[in-house]
Structure 1
Amino acid sequence: MRLMTLLPMAADGVGPSYTCLSLLSGMAATGLSGPCYVARARDRPADVTVLPTVPRMLNMVPYRHVRGPAARAAERRYLSDLRRGDIAYLWPGASLAAFEAARALDLPVVVDGINTRMADARRILDAAYAAEGLTPAHGITDDRIRDEDDKLALTTHFFAPSPGVEAALATSPLSEEAVISCSYGFDPDRAGAKNGGARRRTRPIFLFVGRSSIRKGTHQLLRAWERAGVEGELWIAGAIEPVIRTLCAPLLERPDVRCLGFVSDVASLYSQADVFVLPSLEEGDPLVTLEAASCGLPVIASPMGAGRIGSETGCVAMIDPGEPDSIANQLAHFGRSAEMRAEWGGRAHAAATAYTWKKVAKRRAEALDRRLGCASARRA
Structure 2
Amino acid sequence: MRKIETKVGKKRILCIYPSYFCNRGVSHACLSVVSSMSSSNLNVEVMGISSDKEISSPFYTNTISPTINPIAYRLFSGEKLQRLCEYRFLKKLRDDDIAYLWPGTSINLIEKIKRQGNKIVVENINCHQFISRQILDSEYRKLDLKPSHTITDDSIQDEFRKLELSDYVFSPSPAVSESLLSSGIANEKILQTSYGLSENEIFECQFNYKKNRPLTAIFVGRIGVRKGIHLVLNYWDKANINGILKVIGQVEDYGQEIIEPFLNHPKIQFLKYTNDLKKLYRDADFFILPSLEEGSPLVTYLALGAGLPCLVSPMGSGGIIKDGHEGFIIDPHDESGWIAAIRQMEIKPELREYQSKAAWKSAATYLWKNVGQKRANELLYRLEISN
Q: Percent identity?
A: 33
Matched, 1:284 2:291: no
* Cα separation, 1, equivalents of 2:339 and 2:50: 44
**Cα deviation code 1:275-297 (max 9, x no counterpart):** 00011000001111011111111
Instruction: State yes or no: 1:14 paired with 2:24.
Output: yes
1:315–1:34 distance in 2 versus 1, CA, 3 Å = same
Kept after mapping to 2: 8 A contact 1:306/1:316: no
Residue 170 (structure 1) aligns with: 181
- The verdict on how the C-alpha distance between 1:153 and 1:221 changes in structure 2, with shifts beyond 3 A counting, is same
Report the counterpart of residue 94 of structure 1 in structure 2. Answer: 105
1:127-276 residue pairs with structure 2 within 5 A? 127-189=138-200, 191-195=201-205, 197-198=207-208, 200=210, 202-276=213-287
Partner residue of 1:104? 115
The CA deviation at 1:64 is: 7.2
Q: Distance in 2 between matches of 1:64 and 1:266?
A: 31
**Are the aligned partners of 1:281 and 1:321 in contact in 2 as well (CA < 8 Å)?**
yes
Task: Tell me the amino acid that sits aligned with residue 205 of structure 1.
Answer: T
Change beyond 3 A, Cα 1:200–1:79: farther
One-letter code of the match for 1:83?
A: R
Structure 1 residue aligned with 2:43, among 19, 33, 40? 33
CA distance in 2, matches of 1:218, 1:83: 46
C-alpha displacement at 1:358, in angstroms? 0.5
Partner SS for 1:180 = strand
1:249 to 1:323, Cα distance in 2 relative to 1, 3 A: farther
Aligned length: 374
Partner SS for 1:98: helix
For the residue of structure 2 that corresponds to 1:368, the secondary structure is helix
Task: Tell me the distance in 2 between the aligned counterparts of 1:55 and 1:254.
Answer: 47
The Cα shift of 1:313 comes to 9.5
Give me the CA root mean square deviation: 2.0
1:53 to 63, 68, 81: 63
Q: 2: CA distance between counterparts of 1:314 and 1:157?
A: 32
SS in 2 for 1:375: coil
- Cα distance 1:30–1:51, how it changes in 2: closer, same or farther (>3 A)? same
- Give 3-state SS (helix, strand or coil) of 1:73's partner: helix
Deviations 1:302-332 (A, max 9, x none): 0100012125995231111123322111111
CA shift in 2, pair 1:214/1:365, >3 Å: same
Cα distance in 1 for partners of 2:72, 2:88 equals 22
Q: Is the 8 A contact 1:220 1:323 kept in 2?
A: no
Work out the CA distance in 2 between the residues paired with 1:45 and 1:363: 24
User: TM-score, length-normalised on structure 1?
Assistant: 0.93
Give the Å deviation of 1:197. 3.1
Deviation at 1:352, TM superposition (A): 1.5
| Aligned partner of residue 235 in structure 1, secondary structure | strand
Q: Tell me the CA shift for residue 147 of structure 1.
A: 0.7
Deviation at 1:230, TM superposition (A): 0.8
| Residues 195 and 349 in structure 1, CA contact (< 8 A), matched pair in contact too | yes
Change over 3 Å in CA distance of 1:300–1:313 after alignment to 2: closer
Return the alpha-carbon distance in structure 1 between the equivalents of residues 73 and 339 of structure 2. 41
Separation in structure 2 between the aligned mates of residue 123 and residue 241 of structure 1, nearest angstrom: 19
Aligned equivalent of 1:4, options 10, 14, 18: 14
Q: Quick check: 2:322–2:329 contact (8 Å CA) kept in 1?
A: no
How far 1:124 sits from its partner (Å)?
Answer: 0.2
Query: Residue 375 of structure 1 aligns with which residue?
Result: 386
1:57 Cα shift? Answer: 1.2
Are the equivalent residues in 1 in contact too, given 2:310–2:321 (CA < 8 A)? no
User: Which string of whole-angstrom CA distances, capped at 9 and with x for unpartnered residues, describes residues 240-279 of structure 1?
Assistant: 2241321342223201111011112111111010000011
Residue 59 of structure 1 deviates from its aligned partner by 4.1
Report if the CA contact (8 A) 1:205-1:232 is conserved.
yes
* Counterpart secondary structure, 1:77: helix
Q: How far apart, in 2, do the equivalents of 1:230 and 1:285 lie? A: 29
Q: Which has the higher helix share?
A: 1
Match of 2:308 in 1: 297
Counterpart CA distance in 2 for 1:221 and 1:361 is 33
Which residue is 1:324 aligned to? Answer: 335
Task: Check the 8 A contact 2:202/2:363 in 1, yes or no.
Answer: no
Q: Report the CA distance between 1:30 and its aligned residue.
A: 5.4
Match of 1:23 in 2: 33
Q: Secondary structure in 1 aligned to 2:354?
A: helix
Mark the runs of 5 or more structure 2 residues left unpaired by the alignment.
1-10
- In structure 2, relative to structure 1, the CA distance for the partners of 1:134 and 1:150 (3 Å cut) is same
Q: CA 1:242/1:147 → structure 2, altered by over 3 Å: closer, same or farther?
A: closer
Q: Does 1:347 align with 2:361?
A: no
